[in-house]
Amino acid sequence: CSDKTGTLTKNEMTVQALDGDPELLLTAFLLCNDAKWGKREVIGDPTEAAFLLYADRESEDQKKTDVRDRKKRGRENERWTEKLRREWVRSAAQPFDSERKRMTTVCRRQDRIVSFTKGAPDVILKRCRYEMEEDKIVPLTRERRTEIEAEITRMSARALRVLAGAYRELQTGKMPDGKREKQVGQLEQNLIFLGLAGMMDPPREAAAGAVEAFRRASVRTVMITGDHADTALAIARQLG
């Protein structure tokens, strides 16, 4: 038996695809995220770090266009992730764990309070009642759920690890206490679905050779992973 992530794969996550409004989706994935920038690299879980690297790389062109404004404010070297988190102040969080398969944070921006949730797509989708469609919140119909599930399958078949993002607007004055994790968890209902992110963790170069060596020795190999079954199958096929 072998664990997949970091053993059969490099544990070097990169964002490969976004299905949904990129800015809204990245906002959710960056604010519902514990990774942070150190002096030269991102510190934290590889999956969460991948979103920081992707967002700040994609925002380089935008940063060039507003350099004059940033210099006036003394923030010419500020990353987009840092700017976003400065504007949205976190007040509470329910961390990710293998049983819940999701994470939720509560953030405030001026008078607006929002909970952001990310996690396994099947888990998040079950908790969504609405979705964003052309800047409007609309009911999440059965037909749309079927379409989203089909997209999850397509992305997983490409050996992508798929995460879903969602959010919920909260009433002013009803922001949970940061120490009350159970109260934060109660916000994970009637969510607004934002979309999907597909991430790639490439196989190690030597892993396929090791699997082949075990096969020649008549040893049956078993891969252990918490990923979607289609993602695991795609990786297994790459490893032979």
Q: Which residues are known to be catalytic?
A: 3
- Token look-up 């992305």 returns 155
Among residues 105, 99, 89, the alpha carbon closest in space to that of 188 is found at 105
Q: Are 240 and 207 in contact (CB under 8 A)?
A: no
Residue 51: which of 20, 76, 21, 28 has the closest Cα? 28
Helices 229-239 and 207-216: crossing angle, nearest 10°? 80
Amino acid at 61: D
Query: Is residue 121 a contact partner of residue 163, using CB atoms and an 8 Å limit?
Result: yes
Question: Which two structure tokens, joined as six digits, stand for 34?
Answer: 């514990």
Given a contact cutoff of 8 angstroms between Cβ atoms, the answer to whether 63 and 73 are in contact is no
- Measure the CA–CA gap between 183 and 92, rounded to whole angstroms: 10
- State the Cα–Cα distance between residues 32 and 142, nearest whole angstrom: 27
